[in-house]
Amino acid sequence: MKRLFLLTVVAVFLVSIAFISVAWAEEDWQTITAHGISFSLPPDWQQLEENLGFSEKESAWYSGDVSKPDQFLILARGENVATFLQMFIETETEDSEIVEDISKSIGDAEFRMVTMENSQDDETIIFAAADKVFNNGDGIFMNITIFGSTSEEFQPILEKILDSFSFNVEE
């Protein structure tokens, strides 16, 4: 009986530590504001200093080593992002397979979210776009790339990132 009690106490203690670690990790997330978009990222993510040419209003972040990141997030704000999304789907489908094409609420906007997998390069690419998010008619395009077999592990982190989005539509 004593042994069962001791094992229960140890199990409760370990579970408590796990929950406390998750709570602390959430508090350490960084809040990002760029181009009228606010969201949170894990503390180890870094901003890419160079512009990738998607838009004048563009920013990118990554986790891991910049030369071989684990995950990558590009945000671009501009006009006609649904057209931009379609162009990316057509150019990426050559070596990739569409595994999901859904509508998803992110912030206060409705996004088309297309998930593609490329088994040759062992990567998952998620494109998301919403037209006319801002009062000036601008929309948002996102490219989220997950390298390696970490896609399932990254899913809860990605959901938390997406749940944190908000838009300053006046900007």
Q: What local confidence, expressed as pLDDT, does residue 68 receive? A: 84
- pLDDT tens across 57-66, in order? 889 999 998 8
Cβ contact 37:165 at 8 Å: yes
Instruction: Give me the residue spans of the domains in the chain.
Output: 31-167
Q: What whole-number distance in Å separates Cα of residue 145 and Cα of residue 55?
A: 18
Distance, in Å, from the CA atom of 16 to the CA atom of 107, rounded to the nearest integer, reads: 31
Work out the mean pLDDT of the chain and round it to a whole number.
Answer: 82
CA distance 35 to 47: 14
Assigned architecture for domain 31-167: 3-Layer(aba) Sandwich (3.40)
Residue 79 has a CB neighbour count (10 Å cut-off) of 14
Would you state the pLDDT for residue 74?
93
| pLDDT band, residue 148 (cuts 50/70/90) | confident
Q: Is the pLDDT of residue 136 over 90?
A: yes
Q: What is the pLDDT, as a whole number, of residue 18?
A: 41
